[in-house]
Amino acid sequence: MNRPKIGILDCGSGNLRSVYKAFRREGALPAISKAVDPEWDGLVLPGVGAFGHAMRNIDHVRDDILSFVRGGRHFLGICLGLQVLMESSEENPGAAGLGLVPGNVVRIEAEKVPHIGWNSLDIRKESQILAGMKTGTYFYFVHSYHADPADEVVVASCSYQGSHLTAAVETDNVHACQFHPEKSGSEGLKIIANFSRLAGDG
């Protein structure tokens, strides 16, 4: 069995150890680093906190991330790691995102923010990262902002107090989820396993 090398990028916030343990459990060879290793098979960017803070923390590896993705290898963004794929965010106007996915990040329009807890997905189209998932599957969310990307890249959404929120996006070798698969039990581990398989297959 091929054990893919998965790089987990340390951007100064996020559940790095939980993500690391989840990939180990699914048979991958994860490594936590502040730099991008070109020998990795897949790259993961987890994160919690503010958009602008995250972008400042990864500014020194911005070009390396873009080169990694444009080289055809698989990328997984988790929570804030999804949001920084966008072009910009209302949370920190003027802070440029990675721009790998067209769209902006906006504040959740709901009576109670942040959105914290378990929520079910509405799977809108087939995707590599959600293979084996069904509409109605529950995942764990913690966020006050959500991505508003081009509709064609949205593979799953969820409803929260009357608002429809982007839950997962995918375009070619770029995959991302607003929820935390590493905190979502056995269903979350399926996301980790799917990404590990994609990275290992090249």
CA dist 152 → 32, 54, 173 (Å): 32, 26, 15
The Cα 202–Cα 188 span in angstroms is 22
- With CA atoms as reference, report the closest residue to 187 among 120, 88, 96: 120
Is 104 exposed, middle or buried (CB count within 10 Å of its CB: 0-12, 13-18, 19+)?
middle
Q: Please, what is the Cα angle at 48 between 113 and 42, to 5 degrees?
A: 135
CA dihedral of 6, 11, 15, 16, whole degrees rounded to 10: 40
For residue 115, give both structure tokens: 């959105």
Residues with a known catalytic role? 79, 180, 182
Q: Which residues pair with 120 in a beta bridge?
A: 138
